[in-house]
Amino acid sequence: MTTLFGLEDLAIGTGENVTRLRLFEGPLDLGWQHCAMTSDFVAEFVALRYRSSRNLYKEVRHSVGYLTNELIENAVKFRTSGEVVVEASISTNIFRAKVSNYIDRDTAEQFQRLLSEITAGDPGDLLIKRIEANAAGTGAGSGLGLLTLMSDYGAHFAWVFGSTEEDRKIPLETYASITIPDPSN
């Protein structure tokens, strides 16, 4: 049995012409180093289409890099054993990413509770409430990166929690998309 949060249409895949990168299991510090390097690589790969306009290049590189880095950091931070797979594609003016990893049952349950909250309301309102709760010392800060991407970058998400015979490892696929400018403009 699978459980879906977010946009069902987004969870169908990353489309054609997918770039796939595998981050193999290792010590957490090695994984953290891979987060920035991998997201920078993906961002540069996407932004190269805009090299004729310095402003568009910087905008796309920043947006894609921020989105990709957030997804990879979450996958590395909350993973249980196993690799992290990053897939990215571009179609017309949409950047799509999929990050796959395994999490343990407790983490899955906590994350599903968080997703129930952040997918139910207006991302901008929820972001402000979370920031205020953190400033008052009553918030845990969870979800700030995702809410920022949803509110400020117009990112769309889907999360698919899979099932497995192993009770310890649950496959998680995180899908994301953002609009990027048409390179011909």
Whole-number Å distance between alpha carbons of 74 and 52: 33
Q: Which helix (H) or strand (E) holds 11?
A: none
CB 108 within 8 A of CB 172: yes
pLDDT of residue 27: 62
Question: According to the 3-state scheme, what is the secondary structure of 132-161?
Answer: HHHHCCCCCCCCHHHHHHHHHCCCEEEEEE
Question: Exposed, middle or buried: residue 182 (CB in 10 Å: 0-12, 13-18, 19+)?
Answer: exposed
Single pTM value for the model? 0.89
Whole-number Å distance between alpha carbons of 18 and 138: 41
Secondary structure (3-state) at 158: strand
Give strand pairing partners of 90.
95
* Centroid of chain to Cα 78: 13
Residue 185 lies in a domain: no
Question: Exposed, middle or buried: residue 81 (CB in 10 Å: 0-12, 13-18, 19+)?
Answer: exposed
The mean per-residue pLDDT over the stretch 168-179 comes to: 93
pLDDT classification of 30: cutoffs 50, 70, 90: low
Secondary structure (3-state) at 171: strand
Report whether pLDDT(145) > 60.
yes
Residue 43 lies in a domain: yes
**Structural domains in the chain (count):** 1
In 3D space, the residue among 73, 68, 67, 48 whose CA is nearest the CA of residue 58 turns out to be 48
pLDDT classification of 141: cutoffs 50, 70, 90: low
Report whether pLDDT(164) > 80.
no
Range of the domain at 151: 3-179
pLDDT classification of 157: cutoffs 50, 70, 90: very high
Query: What digits encode the pLDDT tens for the residues 31-88?
Result: 667 788 899 999 999 999 999 999 999 999 999 999 999 999 999 888 887 888 999 9
Residue 184 lies in a domain: no
Here the tokens at position 20 are: 């796939």
Opening angle at CA 119, ends 140 and 28, nearest 5: 50
* Centroid of chain to Cα 33: 17
